[in-house]
Amino acid sequence: MTTIQPLVLLAPLAGVQLPLDQVPDPAFSSRLLGDGLCIDPTSQTLCAPMSGVISNIQDSGHAVSVTNEHGVQVLMHIGLDTVNLAGEGFTPLVEDGQQVQAGQPLIEFDADFIALNARSLLTLMLVVSGEPFELLVPATSTVETGQPVLQLKPATASVEVAQEQGNALFSKPLTLLNAHGLHARPAAVFAQAAKGFKASIYLHKQTESANAKSLVRIMALQTVRGDTLQVSAAGEDAAAAIEALVVLLADGCGENVVGVAPASTAETPAPVSSATLLRGVCASPGSAFGQVFQIKEAALVITEAGLGEAQERATLTRALSDADRALQAMQANVSGAQAEIFRAHQELLEDPTLLEQAHTLLTEGKSAAFAWNSVTVATTRLFQGLGNTLLAERAADLDDVGRRVLKLILGIQDDALEVPERAILIAEQLTPSQTASLDTCKVLGFVTVGGGATSHVAILARALGLPAICGAPACVLALSNGKQVLLDADKGELHLEPDPVEIEQLETARHQQSLRRQREVAQASLAAVTRDGHAVEVTANVASLQEVEQSLVLGGEGVGLLRSEFLYLDRNRAPSAREQADTYSAIARALGPERNLVVRTLDVGGDKPLAYVPMDSETNPFLGLRGIRLCLARPELLREQFRAILASAGQARLHIMLPMVSLLSELHLARRILDEEVQALGLAQRPKLGIMIEVPSAALMADLFAPHVDFFSIGTNDLTQYTLAMDRDHPRLASQADSYHPAVLRLIASTVKAAHAHGKPVSVCGALGSEVLAVPMLIGLGVDELSVSVPLIPTIKAAVRELHLKDCQCIARQVLNLEEAVEVREALYQFHTATAGTSPVLEN
Ligand code: PEP
Ligand code: MG
């Protein structure tokens, strides 16, 4: 343990000393950064309160911290919100890493300028390393520069980290490679991994340390690319924790990282706006002509006093778990980067620092709303005020999560946003959740005053294809609703008096896009036949009767995958045999006797728990009792489902498909049960029986499976995860778990070859089949049917009609010999641009 001798801190400037509670900024008054004192200055030079090293001086010159050889760290912050002055009014006299003596001048400042241009001149001196201390001067007394004002308590004043860690193990120093440091997502991944260990774990940057299990603390370290970091851990699994976390950091915590060179921190100067043109930064490309619609968040009324600690604690716990459930549900409707954002939000709900601070306030008799709001607002402000663009953007995430929980505590329903047609939304800031739930039929784009190009809101806007700019001047908030404006997000411009020629060009491009969609929908009933006469069946992936009906309107030629486990997802009691039979019959009737209905038997387990099928928890659920394995372990479940499916025989061309088959014996066993049920029902004919090819063993043994099945359907989602050994839901592997990987494509190719050698058809029902980019390759590989997500049926059919089989076979041969998924994508992109002359990405 580090032992600290009694240490006296000197007043860094002259003025009136005030208690921190009187500082009108919760980031400081709540002691989020640390305890200390505040001085209303009468002098204009900030001096060192003790001897040590300058551990950080902000580029904007408004804040500086000094650390001594015992790890005591003191932060001084001149004025409130002075980061916004961008350095004006401050003259730093020292630099990072410089040794200074107690009383040495550190920063000169222009008190008049700051008093006029910032919120306040109040200056803070905080012991951010956490040692307890005694004040040596009475509150609200006058102090002189260099006067002893505060004494740290000896011995007991050990550093938080040292106290908690005892004989801690330390990793070797390593260099951080993430382009933007450990911002929310990599920090969430790191904190999540740290929470998997019992040891107390800290992440160290120079003399600063953060609890590695706290997302907020990691973010507050303000790491940047090139920083030297160390991990320390104390406890029974300390060594394992260090080993795992060091690898994680070296791998980028879920981000692609390369090279070591520190990134340039130079920022592009903000372009200038004019009376008819407002400029910001492109957050999401594209352009739109529409009408202004201002979004304003209503203020929430919060009562400070609670109704008793136990009750308020229960209220907070309930709101947090409701928020967690809502975020989980939001993830179900999105994928990739969008899902990762909501996962990071869930992490914030569990942040130990936030929760600890909120609970402390509850013990002081505050209400759950007040406690939660105080800690989230204080931390948000802290992130905004640290002078770091990325942290300021991450503040939007915390603000979003904070408001989500607060509304749940207050019982306020989030009403759906009512926006007019062709709306260009204008807001101070949109939250990630607001952005994710925008109605893209009405909203054409948005402009925000806050936010940044790397914010989660920007990521979501790109995923939704919505043009957006952020960092617009605040006067944009004064535009009246209904005003016609042109948003040119590519250039970061909002035109208030748009040029008719520009509007016309833009409208033409949008019009062509919508005509193409109309044409595709109008021609949806045409067969999907290539230009040289090769027919491909395009069917639907569905999970309800409603989707089946919709698929027929959009030209679906049948159902290629009915995910039966989704039919009763919200139930915690099994549907009766009668109810199941009715559901399958209704779907079969909607399709009619001429169309295929492929019912997949329950694919429960892995990422799909089903409340009425209780399962033991497993260490590796994706490799455990999932799909057909689970059904064979509970044969009554499978038997009953077979009976229910068979009740619809004759109403559609019935096919039964087994998921997750990895062994021939599974197929034989399931077939025997099916045969017994067919016989018991006295049916003249057994429906067709096929298997999903989604496990490499099934793909590799396709030649041995083929004689025993009527068809194969390739589940590229699982086939990719099992082939590349990458969890399909893993936030850090999302960009690598790519179905375009040649290893996956080779398994598709060999499966098709084996199936065709036995005269059996093959479909692709995984998400790869729904991608325009992949269509020529899949056709070239010999896939007979594409079972796709319902809205994309017209688009995929139209894409098939553009192609020549010979070209498809040629590109398929080519991609099988490539090394990486990204090369396959590039080759297909070139192919598409050469043959169709448009971008496949835009069409999707
Ligand atoms: C697949 O794995 O590709 C598939 C279609 O099945 P699911 O996504 O339902 O697991
Ligand atoms: Mg699957």
Q: Which atom of ligand 1 is nearest to the CA of 565?
A: 9
The mean pLDDT values, 10 residues at a time, for the chain of 844 residues are 63 90 73 80 94 81 83 85 82 90 94 85 84 81 89 52 57 78 75 84 80 78 81 86 86 68 34 72 82 85 90 94 87 66 82 87 93 88 62 75 92 78 90 80 90 66 81 87 90 87 78 81 96 97 88 96 80 81 96 97 79 76 91 93 96 97 97 97 95 98 98 95 84 72 98 98 93 95 95 92 96 97 92 70 40
717 Cα: distance to centroid of ligand 1 (angstroms)? 5
- In 564-675, which ranges are E strands? 596-600, 653-658
For 80, list phi and psi in degrees, rounded to 5: -110, 140
494: which strand partners? 278, 487
563 Cα: distance to centroid of ligand 1 (angstroms)? 9
Q: Which atom of ligand 1 is nearest to the CA of 713?
A: 5
* CB-facing half-sphere around the CA of 690: CA atoms within 13 A: 27
Q: Is 544 in the pocket of ligand 1 (CB under 6 A)?
A: no
Q: Which residues are catalytic?
A: 456, 765
Q: The dihedral of CA 33, 35, 41, 46: what is its sign?
A: negative
| Cβ partners under 8 Å of residue 153, min gap 6 | 6, 131, 132, 133, 134
Q: Is 565 in the pocket of ligand 1 (CB under 6 A)?
A: no
Rounded distance, CA 685 to CA 829, Å?
Answer: 46
Cα 305 from chain centroid?
35
Between β-strands 785-789 and 537-542, what pairing exists: parallel, antiparallel or unpaired? parallel
520 Cα: distance to centroid of ligand 2 (angstroms)? 29
Nearest CA to ligand 1 atom 9: 563
Q: Is 766 in the pocket of ligand 1 (CB under 6 A)?
A: yes
Angle at 657 between CA 656 and CA 660, to 5 degrees: 155
- CA trace torsion 727, 729, 733, 736 (10° rounding): 80
- In 408-556, which ranges are E strands? 423-427, 443-448, 468-470, 484-488, 493-495, 537-542
Cα 332 from chain centroid?
12
Nearest CA to ligand 1 atom 6: 715
Nearest CA to ligand 1 atom 1: 715
Q: Ligand 1 pocket test: pick from 563, 763, 764, 788 the residue with the most ligand atoms within 8 Å of its Cβ.
A: 563
Q: Which atom of ligand 1 is nearest to the CA of 606?
A: 10
604 Cα: distance to centroid of ligand 2 (angstroms)? 10
Between β-strands 90-92 and 105-109, what pairing exists: parallel, antiparallel or unpaired? antiparallel
Ligand nearest, relative to CA of residue 789: 1
598 Cα: distance to centroid of ligand 1 (angstroms)? 14
pLDDT at 463: 67
* Helix residue ranges per DSSP H, 2-76: 26-29
Q: Is 142 in the pocket of ligand 1 (CB under 6 A)?
A: no
Q: Which atom of ligand 1 is nearest to the CA of 768?
A: 3
3-state DSSP helix/strand/coil % of the chain, to nearest 5: 40, 20, 40
Q: Is 640 in the pocket of ligand 1 (CB under 6 A)?
A: no
| Cβ partners under 8 Å of residue 369, min gap 6 | 300, 302, 303, 406, 409, 410
Ligand nearest, relative to CA of residue 661: 2
138 Cα: distance to centroid of ligand 1 (angstroms)? 69
Q: Is 716 in the pocket of ligand 1 (CB under 6 A)?
A: yes
pLDDT at 125: 92
Cα 355 from chain centroid?
22
Nearest CA to ligand 1 atom 4: 715
Cα–Cα separations (whole angstroms), residue 98 to 93, 124, 175, 281, 409: 10, 21, 22, 36, 48
Q: Which atom of ligand 1 is nearest to the CA of 721?
A: 2
763: which strand partners? 713, 785
User: Tens digit of pLDDT for each residue in 669-688?
Assistant: 999 999 999 999 999 989 99
**DSSP letters for 598-624:** EEEPP--BTTB--TTS-----SSGGGS
pLDDT at 270: 40
Q: Which atom of ligand 1 is nearest to the CA of 714?
A: 3
- CA trace torsion 155, 156, 162, 163 (10° rounding): 150
H or E element, residue 269: none
* Closest residue by Cα to residue 174 from 215, 204, 196, 209: 204
Ligand nearest, relative to CA of residue 714: 1
Q: Ligand 1 pocket test: pick from 539, 569, 603, 719 the residue with the most ligand atoms within 8 Å of its Cβ.
A: 603
Q: Which atom of ligand 1 is nearest to the CA of 719?
A: 2
Q: Ligand 1 pocket test: pick from 694, 714, 738, 768 the residue with the most ligand atoms within 8 Å of its Cβ.
A: 694
3 state DSSP class of 3: coil
583 Cα: distance to centroid of ligand 2 (angstroms)? 22
761 Cα: distance to centroid of ligand 1 (angstroms)? 18
